[in-house]
Homo-oligomer: A and B are copies of this chain.
Amino acid sequence: MLSKFDRRGRLGDEDRAALLALPHHIRRVAAGIHLIRDGDRPEHCAVLLSGFAYRHKITGEGGRQVIAIHMTGDFVDLQNSLLDVSDHNVQMLTDGDVAFVPRAAIRELALTRSAIGMALWTDTLIDSAIFREWVVNVGRRDARARISHLLCEFSLRLEAAGLAEQHRYQLPMTQEQLADCTGLTSVHVNRVLRQLAEEGLISRNKRAIVIEDWPRMREVGDFNERYLHDDAAAAAALT
């Protein structure tokens, strides 16, 4: 859980110890359970120890838009840590272990140990960078590029989290959820995936994805890993 912080900021030993000493309780949480609900006043902030979670909003028409996917090691709700009322939902995508840390403890720690505050702040800024890229993805790319882009992003982030290798990984979601990430319908996602496979860009078997031709996928998906602000991800992009 600390490896991500180690990768970017260097925290002193004392700061690391203080982070680890945060009060928390760990619970196994089933897929589908809400970690935060739109309109809630969150009392704690979740850290994903295993499994996946997703952030989403529902429109008045009933459409769902996924805004982010979180994976092992992510500090899930720093986004709500300093705001009073949550403006979106966070739900488990798969079963997973979650550590719940009281919000007040995090604020306290950020105030008294400002290096930790900066590290947490940085973490939320990287989340923002990904939000921005998603705005571009759904706003200005066609279906083929949107999905390719997303598959590229997953590949690098999963690799950085130690959950993928050689651009091979297990997609943690259904095609319908993929559609909700990209602003498409599940029917269309299915067709695009099939087409990408037919062209030999990817191959898949149930949820297992292999990006067979990384350079071309990068191009089709108009993907540039810089927005991930993660050296491990950047390294994975070279292979």
Chain A residues engaging chain B, CB cutoff 8 angstroms: 39, 55, 57, 59-61, 63-65, 67, 79, 81-85, 87-88, 107, 110-112, 114-115, 117-118, 120-122, 124-129, 131-136, 138-141, 182-183, 219, 222, 226-227, 229
Contacts and interface: CB of A to CB of B under 8 A. Distances in A.
Given A57-B132, A65-B140, A125 B226 contact: no
A183 B84 CA distance: 30
B222 A59 contact: yes
Given A55-B132, A110-B114, A138-B139, 10 more contacts: A59-B222, A67-B132, A82-B122, A83-B126, A117-B118, A120-B121, A121-B124, A128-B128, A128-B131, A135-B135
Nearest to A223: B60
B132 A87 contact: yes
B122 A111 contact: no
A76 B140 CA distance: 23
Contacts of A114: 110-112, 114, 117
A85 B226 contact: yes
B87 A226 contact: yes
A144 to B, nearest CB: 11
A229 B87 contact: yes
Contact of A140 (B87, B141, B183, B229): B183
Given A183-B140, A222-B60, A222-B61, A67 B121 contact: no
Given A59-B136, A118-B111, A129 B87 contact: yes
10 contacts: A61-B141, A64-B140, A67-B135, A67-B136, A82-B122, A84-B229, A88-B132, A114-B117, A121-B121, A124-B125
A114 B107 CA distance: 10
Nearest to A225: B87
Contacts of A87: 129, 132-133, 226-227, 229
A124 B128 contact: yes
Given A121-B82, A121-B117, A229-B83, A183 B139 contact: yes
Nearest to A182: B139
A136 B65 contact: yes
A38 to B, nearest CB: 8
Contacts of A182: 139
